[in-house]
Structure 1
């Protein structure tokens, strides 16, 4: 039986690539650099499946392919705002993602960013590495205590709830949340989380605001100049969701003006490009999209893609279909 032709747009963990080679006639991106729109269009015409990542922009222009062969975009990652799902549907493409398997590690990183921003860990390390530390003193690099504070979650899905568990059970924080969709009472009860009816209520009340809303046009610049002004001057903003959820220029201005105390960012609009004014903010912690970057999680994400491909090629509905 002829193996299905599958294209992997970036390098994946070694064990996952080995399994892909066993199952399919697989082509790897040996250079591990983002594919051009032209190359993506060519792949859609030549392969049975294309497996993109969040670094691949699969918009309507990419999906406008004459003589398309591919029938599935099996994306590696939980977010899928990099794919124009409506255009994919029109092109007859099934779209899948990899939820659940990265929730814990992404939540771990959200708390890492919270602590780094609150305790000025990035600033402190830079001072030590530069040889500028002159020793302990009572007024040196005073940060913010998070234990016992209010942890606000925007987007109370899997990752948001995992972050809330860590904040509540690990740091004794009160959890409040906003989500545009109903949340089962038993899920909120895990952290005694209290629902708020609007984003603005969470911003006004929280000491830490952790973003877990999906990307895309509906949440573009959800955190704006106006909304940043609602936050406490002692508050911390954390983003492990999608870069476009935050207006980077507005955030940098707020950090410089003292509108909020600090921010921890793992994602950026237009990444790997970063809003230049954020580099000027000592009170911003900037990480290179490490939310799911553990071996166990990245392996699990790859195997989840394979599960979706196997189901699709059998003629079954992939469990992680999003379009």
Structure 2
């Protein structure tokens, strides 16, 4: 029979197909004050070895370039294959159990570090023998009822995939799956093998235990930002050119205050991203991102010289332009 984690993951996939629409808007960490019971058997799956792949590509590239003796390289590759097979038999068979237990131990250590008695993730070992960890669970008729009883107490299951990079570096992705909804959350880290569990546990712990901030509110919801004309992308243009294009879109150049607020909101928060060292056209002149806040705005004395980038802003009917803040007075 398939391992218990395979059975649980199939159940999660079925739940996802049925409840995706209902679970889509929920935060994965909800309910806020409720801990999650996690099945302690965490499968660890080895993915493609990118470090070995890069090395093999170099060997064959050297062969094509005439830099390597084919017979010598073949013997070396055979020796490597033998060594790899040996390590997989003797070491990789236990790697899953090692990372499994280390990850749980590191999560417990993080809980002790902040002195909490109610960590959000709790691993349920009740009724589970050590032999059941990292081993295919029995699912015959005799054990099926017990297996279902265990699964009924579990809220989350997890699995880890990893690949070795150059040297001792390992990249690993831990994925947590909610059995009730099929929703998932993944965490990817890159770290030396001895510290991999520590780094991965810290990432997961911070996500579940950290302060949950309310969602950012767009302070410019009544305004619509437009990018520069397609033909002006990544080009300096004159103030007159920027104004003409904005007017063609029923928009205008922003004020300094509007551009400052948009920059603070950020590209993913309803604002815009300004390039480092960029100068942008605004209604009162030029906005220079390299300057301190009080000196960002300066006069633009020649409106026909290509000396700035730009965004346009389209305001809803009745909305007025934001006033230039006192800290951003135009310099003469």
Q: Classify the TM-score, shorter chain.
A: under 0.3
Give the TM-score normalised by structure 2.
Answer: 0.26
Give the TM-score normalised by structure 1.
Answer: 0.27
Larger radius of gyration: 2
